[in-house]
Structure 1
């Protein structure tokens, strides 16, 4: 087996393991705390989440395996900066909190979320994934960790011509839609600390990129808004 075949085989294994991990997280932190598989909101959400992730992964496999390799190299341990290790850990922890609180909410009947709100949540999750797809199509350097790779350049087109961090925008849209899609008002409260952690991570990332990525400071002067056009 040559080097290219070894790399491809390794990427296949890592990609498959990431999907196994995703499904395990859903079962362990959503259906187990719910105490039942009779949770239609969770089934719809899980299908949307897995299918959307699989679609993007398949597209990256065909069009940009290098980016896919950077995406599967995820987790706090993969981060190089201490602050990013901390924020990455809290993002994962808060995502799990979304699932567990929603599951417990369903189990004990704390919330009564109208059907159209649940559908709105699913639409937000799909919309967030669609924006994520556009980001990956535009930015071949959109790693899952904060880093600067060889030959990396500043991306100024597509979503990056509107806001500096469309990747975080997509994540926030998905996370905003998650508690609604799962029918939980209480889980929605978790969105507040998640947003604060994302802002912390984002500002630290901008400092890192301004220092280590040529042209990023000029890009920030050109594109003024970080997450929300005309606001911030």
Structure 2
């Protein structure tokens, strides 16, 4: 399992590097190198932790993003995510390095971006500790005894991992010093919100107790806001 984690992480980082540096037209982009190193190190850290504490969840996290068990709408959503993700990385490379459409961001904002990326992964550890069913795809994991989780961060919001992703969406373009990258963020947040609503409909229909959970925990992403 660890070997598979390492291989998939390396391939994922390599593909991101091709998009970022290819669009930038240069390898002399320290912020992008730091971004990949930070993301890779944090991903391996949380993956190794999962391998020891919840190998079943790690297997789910390493599974393909398009699966037969998914609803058709979620398969289409994940394919759309892949396209937007690639376009996002390319846009930031073109913006920050090749054409310099954006003026360099202050060091404080770049540092804030790095902190946001760290906090996203750090928060995900608490999510994974509370919820062994936090797969990257929307499906009912009947074979693993899927049940409603209402402890830890799930006692505050219904989608704490999506809440963590908001930090990642903000932190990535700040770290890479791209205002064009920030322009993508509202679209990505709307997409994530749409998925959360569709996911809740599926869970309410197919997972015992989820409707009662929704009544107890009112907010999806951010307490007192949404």
TM norm. shorter chain > 0.5: yes
Q: Is the 8 A contact 1:128 1:170 kept in 2?
A: yes
Q: What is the alpha-carbon root mean square deviation over aligned residues?
A: 1.4
**How far apart, CA to CA, are the structure 2 residues paired with 1:98 and 1:50?**
18
Which stretch of the first structure deviates more once superposed, 192-201 or 59-68? 192-201
**How far apart, CA to CA, are the structure 2 residues paired with 1:145 and 1:47?**
26
Give the aligned partner of residue 214 of structure 1: 208
**Structure 1's 89 and 128: CA in aligned 2 closer, same or farther, altered over 3 A?**
same
Give the aligned partner of residue 5 of structure 1: none
Give the aligned partner of residue 99 of structure 2: 108
Shift >4 Å, 4+ stretches: none
Say whether 1:149 aligns with 2:151.
no
Say whether 1:128 aligns with 2:120.
yes
Say whether 1:190 aligns with 2:190.
no
1:185-230 CA-to-partner distances (Å, cap 9, x unmatched) read 0111111211121111111100000011110000000000001100
1:11-62 CA-to-partner distances (Å, cap 9, x unmatched) read 4554244213212222211111111111111111111110111101010011
Which residues in structure 2 correspond to 1:173-188 (within 5 Å)? 173-188=167-182
Give the aligned partner of residue 204 of structure 1: 198
Q: Is the 8 A contact 1:87 1:200 kept in 2?
A: no
1:94 offset after TM fit, Å?
A: 2.0
Say whether 1:164 aligns with 2:155.
no
Which residues in structure 2 correspond to 1:37-48 (within 5 Å)? 37-48=27-38
**How far apart, CA to CA, are the structure 1 residues paired with 2:107 and 2:124?**
26
Q: Is the 8 A contact 2:91 2:180 kept in 1?
A: yes
Say whether 1:69 aligns with 2:59.
yes
* TM-score computed with the length of structure 1 as normaliser: 0.91
Matched residues, number: 222
**How far apart, CA to CA, are the structure 2 residues paired with 1:78 and 1:48?**
33
**How far apart, CA to CA, are the structure 2 residues paired with 1:21 and 1:60?**
19
Give the aligned partner of residue 71 of structure 2: 81
* TM-score computed with the length of structure 2 as normaliser: 0.93
1:134 offset after TM fit, Å?
A: 0.8
Q: Is the 8 A contact 2:5 2:44 kept in 1?
A: no
**How far apart, CA to CA, are the structure 1 residues paired with 2:116 and 2:13?**
21
Classify the secondary structure of the residue corresponding to 1:76.
Answer: coil
1:79 offset after TM fit, Å?
A: 5.5
Q: Is the 8 A contact 2:120 2:165 kept in 1?
A: yes
Q: Is the 8 A contact 1:79 1:85 kept in 2?
A: no
1:53-79 CA-to-partner distances (Å, cap 9, x unmatched) read 110101001111100001111323456
